[in-house]
Chain A
Amino acid sequence: MAELDTSGGGKHKGGKIRSKKASTRVDLTAMVDLAFLLITFFMLTTTLSKKKAMDLAMPDNSVQKSQLPVAATRSMTILLGSHNKLEWYMGEAGKSAPTVDSYGKDGLRKALIENGKKVAETHAAPDNFMIVLIKPSDKSTYENLVNTLDEMNITGVQSYAIVKITPMELGDLQKNNIY
């Protein structure tokens, strides 16, 4: 983009030869082009999505604190099995048949909300919140664990813990072909 010469272009006939005044204008086009190119480059290479953190608190297993008795009917146990499947049951192990379920909004989330409501209806306040025990088996994946913890967060379960799975529960998972 060169500048058009709009000056008259007259010839100096016989007149004094004047030194031409050089323009102080610098053509910035190339410089701007370069600057925008670099801007584009840096915009595209910066990492915009930052990683998120999910905080997790495990119980301190070294101190034996006096434990409050909790009604078994308020506890829900979730067993994480293989093949992205889980099973859950309310109350004590072996007393009620576990339900095989999947992760996601129609599986675990629905179960959590429904059970939470049931517990809230059948128990007197303030001890009417549900307690969830998460028991990952060795065949479950890290993603399963994170998903389960995320569901706790979504459904607003106040108290949950990651607990070691028992052999009996493992047998149960095997029976349902998800171990």
Chain B
Amino acid sequence: MPRVKVARKSTFIDMTAMCDVAFLLLTFFILTAKPKVDDPTKAEIPFSSKTTPVPEDNLATITVGNINGKSTIFYSVTGADVRTETLKAMGDKYKVSFTPEEISRFSLLEVFGVPIANLKQYLDLRPDERKGFPTAGIPADTTAANELGDWIYLSRQAERGLHNRDLDIAIKGDRKQEYPVINEIISILGHQKKFKFDLITDLRAAPKK
């Protein structure tokens, strides 16, 4: 009687399909990934129950962070072209001349918190050296004319000139920030007849019931 032979099968699995799927997913994640921007402001934003997402473009953000126990104002605006135009206008206004190199560096700068007088020095540094630069914050007060107000006003003008729309303003503040600084920013916006703006918050992890 012949013995029944069990056919020895190859252990080789066809991985072509698996490989395809893996690379498809990989491509998806690479394309959707947004690199985390190193946030120098270290602002811990408060929670709320709002679920409206922050707009991705056409937005200027005023951040109030707490650096070494002092409230420090940072400013950022979306769009490299808007940043370029804003810096040129600011340079004209404050009589600081920026080289094309500095302007192109500024257009890549996500967020900054130095007075205009020090901005030239700041831009001349390499990105890794900028961390050591003293972040004095952008000077602001409740009067109609101040540096932060000019940044906001000129970037709104730049946005209007380039894309013909009004720049949205968002305020991002540290939780423990005392109210006077926030009041300062609100009144600066009020001087510019900007009465509608956003407060950036984080979704509360577990809603209280």
Q: Can you give 28 contacting A-B residue pairs, CB < 8 Å?
A: A28-B15, A31-B19, A35-B23, A35-B26, A42-B26, A46-B32, A46-B33, A49-B202, A51-B200, A52-B50, A52-B53, A52-B54, A52-B201, A52-B203, A53-B200, A54-B199, A54-B201, A55-B199, A56-B198, A56-B199, A62-B193, A80-B179, A104-B208, A105-B209, A137-B179, A141-B176, A143-B175, A153-B48
What A residues does B29 contact at CB under 8 A?
38-39, 42-43, 46
Cross-interface CB contact of B176 among A28, A35, A56, A143, cutoff 8 Å:
A143
The 6 A-B residue pairs with the shortest CB-CB distance, nearest first, are A42-B29, A35-B22, A28-B15, A53-B198, A143-B175, A142-B177
Instruction: Give the size range of B's interface with the partner.
Output: 35 or more
Residue A64 lies at the interface, judged by CB distance under 8 Å to chain B: no
What B residues does A29 contact at CB under 8 A?
15
Cross-interface CB contact of A4 among B10, B196, B197, cutoff 8 Å:
B10
- The answer to whether B175 and A153 have CB atoms under 8 Å apart is no
- The answer to whether A32 and B55 have CB atoms under 8 Å apart is no
Given contacts A54-B48, A56-B199, A142-B178, 16 further A-B pairs with CB under 8 A are A6-B9, A35-B25, A39-B25, A42-B30, A46-B34, A53-B55, A53-B170, A54-B200, A138-B180, A139-B178, A141-B175, A141-B176, A142-B176, A147-B48, A150-B49, A154-B49
- Chain B 175-209, CB-CB to A under 8 Å as 1, else 0, gives 11111101100100110010111111111000011
Residue A75 lies at the interface, judged by CB distance under 8 Å to chain B: no
Segment 37-68 of A: residues with Cβ below 8 Å from B: 38-39, 42-43, 45-47, 49-62
| A45→B34 CA distance, assembly (Å) | 9
